[in-house]
């Protein structure tokens, strides 16, 4: 697999780099960003995969979250992929809406035409991208995963479905119960079709009910988030986690909204959380 290095910037004695490659899972060219801490010059380091939210690319987190300083100190690499397949041949929302199609892959494997040809984001994040990262960079086999909003949904569902692959999971403002959320209902109808039984494979509340191998989880949610009641529903996830004693900590943060100002305020807590589990 050929990687095309788009940019390189030194940061806190490590390196932030962007790459382009052809994805076999998504049948298009994809871009990702990686931050390599200074420790990666001499040894293999653990990695945190960051999944961004609606309308975002690989750039939002790396430019706005302020994660590099502590990641460099802790010796953790960070990989931020794009949020959907891209390209002239990739179908988009016919109405041009922001919450479906390009920039809104929802980290599922689409089964409905015309989206099934390209929108295989679950396979890309779980299998193809880690294989690529571990083959080309000084990364060891310890992984954690995190995300925001749609990406928080993706991080939680991927960790719950693959507990043997991740040491820990965290999320900011995740869509916790998408089968009961307007964003989730729209995305799942378009990507997965009318059979709602198939939707359950991508809903954190449904997946956590069946958990046997627990992945430690941290969730931060702003109390002044405009999407809290209608779209995110963290209380549903917390209630189920308590019923089965799942190691999930939900922190409601007064005054914070859905923005990257919120993420930047608590990202170091999340990095410390993952560092404890990544060893």
The CATH number of residue 262's host domain is 3.40.50.1820
- Number of domains making up the chain: 1
Distance CA 230, CA 182 (A): 8
pLDDT of 194 reads 95
The stretches of the chain forming alpha helices (DSSP H) are 59-64, 68-74, 121-123, 129-136, 150-161, 182-192, 204-209, 234-243, 260-278
Taking every pair of Cα atoms in the chain, the longest distance, rounded to a whole number of angstroms, is 51
Distances 113 to 10, 66, 99, 109, 123 between C-alpha atoms, Å:
42, 39, 18, 12, 17
pLDDT of 132 reads 97
Instruction: Annotate 204-215 with b (16+ C-beta within 10 A) or e (fewer).
Output: bbbbbeebeebb
Q: Is 258 a catalytic residue?
A: yes
pLDDT of 96 reads 87
Q: Is 225 a catalytic residue?
A: yes
What own/partner pairs with CB < 8 Å and gap ≥ 24 does 95-99 have?
A: 98/54, 98/55, 99/54, 99/183, 99/186, 99/187
Six-digit token string for 214:
């627990």
pLDDT of 95 reads 87
Cβ–Cβ < 8 Å for 31, 57: yes
- Write down the catalytic residue from 23, 225, 265, 274: 225
Verdict on whether the full-model pTM lies above 0.75: yes
Range of the domain at 270: 3-278
pLDDT tens over the chain, length 279 residues: 789 999 999 999 999 999 999 999 999 999 999 999 999 999 999 999 999 999 999 999 999 999 999 999 999 999 999 999 999 999 999 888 999 999 999 999 999 999 999 999 999 999 999 999 999 999 999 999 999 999 999 999 999 999 999 999 999 999 999 999 999 999 999 999 999 999 999 999 999 999 989 999 999 999 999 999 999 999 999 999 999 999 999 999 999 999 999 999 999 999 999 999 999
Half-sphere exposure of 53 (CA within 13 A, CB side): 19
pLDDT of 94 reads 87
pLDDT of 191 reads 98
Displacement of CA 65 from its chain's centroid (Å): 14
Cis bond before residue 114 (omega within 30° of 0): yes
pLDDT of 156 reads 98
pLDDT of 71 reads 98
pLDDT of 212 reads 87
pLDDT of 240 reads 97
pLDDT of 188 reads 98
Six-digit token string for 197:
């039984």
pLDDT of 92 reads 97
Q: How many CB atoms lie within 10 A of CB 266?
A: 18
pLDDT of 222 reads 98
Q: Is 211 a catalytic residue?
A: no
- Write down the catalytic residue from 149, 168, 173, 265: 149
- Write down the catalytic residue from 148, 258, 270, 274: 258
């Amino acid at each position: 697999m050929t990687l095309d290095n788009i940019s390189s910037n030194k940061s806190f004695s490590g390196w932030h780099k962007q790459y382009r490659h052809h994805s076999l899972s998504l049948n298009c060219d994809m871009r990702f960003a990686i931050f390599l801490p200074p420790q990666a010059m001499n040894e293999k380091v653990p990695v945190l995969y960051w999944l961004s939210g609606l309308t975002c690319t690989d750039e939002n987190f790396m430019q706005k979250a302020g994660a590099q300083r502590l990641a460099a100190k802790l010796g953790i690499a960070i990989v931020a992929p794009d949020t959907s397949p891209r390209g002239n041949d990739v179908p988009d929302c016919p109405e041009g809406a922001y919450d479906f199609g390009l920039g809104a892959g929802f980290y599922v494997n689409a089964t409905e035409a015309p989206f099934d040809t390209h929108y295989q984001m679950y396979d890309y994040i779980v299998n193809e991208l880690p294989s690529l990262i571990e083959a080309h960079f000084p990364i060891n086999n310890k992984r954690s995963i995190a995300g925001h909003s749609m990406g928080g949904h993706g991080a939680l569902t991927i960790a719950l479905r693959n507990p043997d692959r991740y040491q820990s999971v965290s999320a900011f403002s995740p869509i916790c119960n998408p089968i009961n959320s307007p964003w989730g209902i729209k995305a799942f109808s378009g990507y997965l079709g009318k059979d709602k039984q198939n939707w359950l494979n991508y809903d954190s509340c449904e997946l956590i009910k069946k958990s046997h191998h627990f992945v430690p989880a941290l969730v931060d949610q702003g109390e002044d988030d405009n999407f809290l009641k209608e779209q995110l529903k963290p209380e549903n996830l917390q209630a189920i986690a308590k019923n089965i004693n799942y190691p999930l900590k939900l922190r409601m943060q007064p005054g914070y909204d859905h923005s990257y100002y919120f993420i930047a305020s608590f990202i170091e807590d999340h990095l410390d959380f993952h560092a404890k589990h990544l060893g």
